[in-house]
């Protein structure tokens, strides 16, 4: 395989362990670093077809890979530059095999890592990092909901990123309002509504890029419901002519959402044309076939998964069912070396080296390796029960808030209860140097801390149970979940997926490295590398610092993040004798939720 690949770039040493660049140093070249976690290799070559796809989605800025040595992070230690080299190698292989290979992305480039979120004052989220995403040879990209929360981010995409895709960035049902040449506001697609093109081997493609029914977008952006989009005249005209295949790319999960609406609209006109669907948003590995001549693939999150799909066409019977395969790859050098056939070596291409160096320069510019302290152990978001000494939620409630919010605070000596939502945390916190980047990864949200003074302890202790909806009806829970999903919340579906893996652990292979264990609706084995499932434990929606050991009539400060202010006031209004409103609420500290871990680490982990 890859007879010409050795000429593509310099070779690195044989890789057995993941890169663990969490030591506070910048590395000008990629190098293997010894870690405590072994990287397992894939067990079978990829199956190539006539048409093949490499798919990414929900990268959320994790472009330098997962850099911690704790399992399962080394599984995902490949950075975007290494991925670019892998894509180059696979494109070369496609030429040798005389088949088509397309590179696809389903959105959410923003929000989730210091490379996107750590920009200096006056900057724009992902502006710098996306310059290097645009250097990869993506055939089609689609918009995600995280491109729409802040108008400045959407405008930056429209002005600076979309033009680099040469008409291949799709936003079929998403518009932005901008000023036209006469200074008048006009609503226009962020990218293109659709695109028609030919593959390297001349296959005709019609492609659309669809966002799910998202309601949390910023002003001056619009998201049309999917069911309304397929009734548009432009949609009918776009799909009227039959291509060799339809390529439907979008930030919408492949199950339990509206892909069938788009699929059925196309099928009504073209009953047998191959349809390849690439979804996203819920951060899971998933696959489903809506009929025998289509496949729908979703490829995880945070560059923890690279998706693969192949379609082998029956040349004797062009209308026969297509033979599909799909695979979920762990993005690391072991995986890439295995599938490029280089026996433990991976050639770094000039493009790959340039992308890595550029991303490292951004990390240096943003000072992402600034170290606040050294974490004494791993703390888990869902791999440890709450409460426990391995739970990051317990760490936040019991130590981080009480210690971090006491710094430079005139109310330090007044007893308090501090409440926050568990959704304010996004990722695990690992042993070793705790840096600016780690802070942005684990606790990214810029919520302020508010308080109500002089609240009787007997009143204050009723707020947390109220927030956690003790006794709420199932109908209300379902309505709330639907509303949260519409605004972009995906943790419920991701957690259910993780919980299912853990509950099926008895039937999973034993004594393997930790990682995802996927069971989807497509035939055959999906995971490229077999793993043992990660433990999973649920947690409450809201958590609080320890209750002061005081008389029930004692007056305390009730502290909470501004994100839940209206909910707190609503609960207080239902407690007899409590007369609080928005005028009762004051600012507790200038420290934001996105800063409190760093303040704590400086106090407790040095």
The CATH code of the domain that includes 324 is 3.60.21.10
Q: Answer whether the bond into residue 72 is a cis peptide, omega within 30°.
A: yes
- DSSP-based three-state secondary structure for 17: strand
Tens digit of each residue's pLDDT (9 = 90 or more) over 119-174: 999 999 999 999 999 999 999 999 999 999 999 999 999 999 999 999 999 999 99
Q: Please give the DSSP secondary-structure letter assigned to residue 116.
A: H
DSSP strands (E only) in 392-477: 416-421, 432-435, 449-456
In a domain, residue 100? The reply is yes
Within-domain flag for 505: no
Q: Which residues contact 410 (CB under 8 A, 6 or more apart)?
A: none
- Quick check: is 534 in a domain? no
CB proximity list for 222: less than 8 A, separation 6 or greater: 174, 175, 177, 187
Q: How far is CA 549 from CA 131, 178, 307, 457, 577, in A?
A: 54, 57, 53, 10, 22
Torsion angle (degrees, nearest 10) of CA 155, 161, 163, 165? -140
350, 365, 380 - which closes a domain: 365
Q: Which stretches of the chain score pLDDT less than 70?
A: 1-37, 342-346, 470-479
Residues 6+ apart with CB under 8 A from 115: 61, 62, 63, 64, 126, 128, 129, 359, 362, 363, 366, 368
Q: Is there a single domain that holds both residue 74 and residue 197?
A: yes
Here the CATH number for the domain that contains residue 405 is 3.90.780.10
593 in Cβ contact with 420 (< 8 Å): yes
Does 418 lie in the same domain as 280? no
Task: Report the alpha-carbon distance of residue 220 to residue 565 in Å, rounded.
Answer: 26
Separation between Cα atoms, residue 581 and residue 137, nearest integer Å: 55
Based on the domain organization, do 349 and 435 belong to the same domain? Answer: no
Token pair, residue 102, equals: 């397309």
First to last CA, the chain: 51
Gap between the Cα atoms of 86 and 89, Å rounded:
5
* Same domain assignment for residues 360 and 427: no
Do 440 and 311 fall within a single domain?
Answer: no
**Do residues 269 and 135 share a domain?**
yes
8 A C-beta contact, residue 349 and residue 88: yes
Indicate whether 481 belongs to any domain: no
Cβ atoms of 488 and 214 within 8 Å: the answer is yes
Whether 182 and 82 map to the same domain: the answer is: yes
**525 part of a folded domain:** no
Q: Is residue 104 part of a domain?
A: yes
Tell me which residue of 176, 201, 243, 197 sits closest to 104, measured CA to CA: 197
Same domain? For 323 and 385 the reply is: no
Residue where a domain terminates, one of 320, 347, 365: 365
How confident is the prediction for the chain on average, in pLDDT?
A: 92
What's the total number of domains in the chain?
2
Can you give the pTM of this predicted structure?
Answer: 0.92
Q: Are residues 404 and 550 in the same domain?
A: yes
Residues 138 and 195 in one domain: yes
- Residues 385, 344 share a domain: no
Do 456 and 582 lie in one domain? The reply is yes
Q: Is residue 453 part of a domain?
A: yes
Quote the pLDDT of residue 478.
62
Domain extent for 207: 5-365
Structure confidence at residue 507 (pLDDT) = 82
Q: Tell me the β-bridge partners of 51.
A: 100, 311
Q: Where is the domain boundary, 365, 394, 423? A: 365
* Position 450 in a domain: yes
């Amino acid at each position: 395989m890859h007879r010409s690949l050795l000429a593509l770039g310099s070779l690195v040493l044989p890789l057995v362990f993941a890169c663990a660049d969490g030591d506070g140093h910048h590395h000008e070249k990629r190098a293997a670093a010894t870690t405590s976690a072994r990287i397992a290799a894939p067990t079978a070559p990829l199956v190539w077809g006539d048409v093949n796809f490499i798919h990414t989605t929900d990268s959320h800025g994790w472009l330098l890979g997962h850099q911690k040595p704790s399992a399962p992070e080394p599984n995902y230690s490949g950075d975007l530059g290494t991925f670019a080299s892998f894509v180059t190698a696979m494109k070369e292989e496609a030429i040798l095999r005389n088949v088509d290979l397309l590179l696809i992305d389903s959105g959410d480039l923003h929000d989730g890592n210091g490379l996107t979120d750590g920009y200096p004052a006056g900057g724009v989220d992902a502006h710098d990092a996306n310059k290097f995403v645009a250097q990869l040879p993506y055939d089609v990209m689609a918009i995600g909901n995280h491109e729409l929360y802040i108008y400045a981010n959407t405008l930056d995409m429209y002005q600076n990123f979309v033009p680099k895709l040469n008409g291949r960035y799709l936003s079929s049902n998403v518009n932005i309002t901008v000023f036209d040449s006469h200074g008048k506001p006009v609503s226009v697609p962020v990218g293109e509504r659709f695109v028609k093109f030919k593959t390297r081997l001349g296959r005709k493609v019609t492609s659309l890029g669809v966002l799910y029914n998202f309601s949390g977008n910023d002003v001056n952006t619009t998201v049309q419901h999917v069911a309304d989009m397929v009734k548009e005249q432009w949609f009918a005209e776009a799909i009227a002519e039959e291509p060799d295949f339809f390529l439907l790319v979008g930030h919408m999960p492949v199950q339990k959402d509206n892909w069938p609406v788009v699929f059925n609209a196309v099928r009504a006109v073209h009953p047998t044309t191959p349809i390849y669907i690439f979804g996203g948003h819920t951060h899971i590995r998933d696959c489903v076939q809506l009929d025998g001549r289509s496949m729908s693939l979703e490829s995880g999150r945070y560059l923890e998964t690279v998706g693969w799909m192949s379609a082998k066409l029956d040349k004797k019977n062009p209308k026969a069912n297509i033979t599909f395969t799909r695979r979920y790859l762990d993005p690391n050098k072991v995986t890439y070396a295995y599938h490029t056939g280089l026996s433990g070596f991976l050639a770094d291409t000039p493009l790959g080296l340039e992308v890595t160096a550029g991303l490292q320069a951004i990390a240096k510019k943003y000072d992402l390796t600034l170290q606040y302290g050294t974490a004494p152990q791993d703390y888990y978001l869902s791999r440890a029960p709450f409460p426990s000494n391995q739970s990051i939620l317990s760490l936040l409630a019991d130590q981080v808030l009480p210690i971090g919010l006491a710094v430079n605070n005139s109310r330090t000596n007044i007893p308090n209860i501090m409440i926050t939502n568990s959704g304010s945390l996004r990722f695990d916190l690992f042993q070793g140097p705790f840096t600016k980047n780690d802070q942005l990864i684990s606790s990214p949200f810029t919520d302020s801390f508010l308080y109500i003074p002089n609240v009787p302890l007997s009143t204050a202790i009723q707020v947390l149970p109220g927030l956690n909806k003790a006794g709420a009806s199932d109908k209300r829970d379902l309505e709330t979940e639907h509303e949260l999903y519409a605004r972009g919340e995906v943790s419920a579906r991701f957690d259910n997926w993780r919980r299912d893996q853990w509950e099926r652990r008895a039937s999973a292979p034993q004594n393997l490295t930790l990682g995802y264990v996927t069971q989807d609706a497509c035939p055959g084995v999906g995971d490229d590398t077999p793993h043992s499932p990660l433990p999973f434990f649920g947690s409450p929606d809201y958590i609080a610092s320890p209750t002061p050991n005081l008389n029930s009539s004692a007056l305390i400060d009730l502290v909470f993040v501004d994100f839940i202010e209206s909910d707190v006031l609503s609960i207080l209004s239902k407690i007899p004798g409590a007369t609080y409103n928005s005028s009762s609420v004051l600012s507790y500290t200038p420290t934001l939720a996105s800063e409190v871990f760093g303040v704590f680490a400086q106090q407790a982990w040095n």
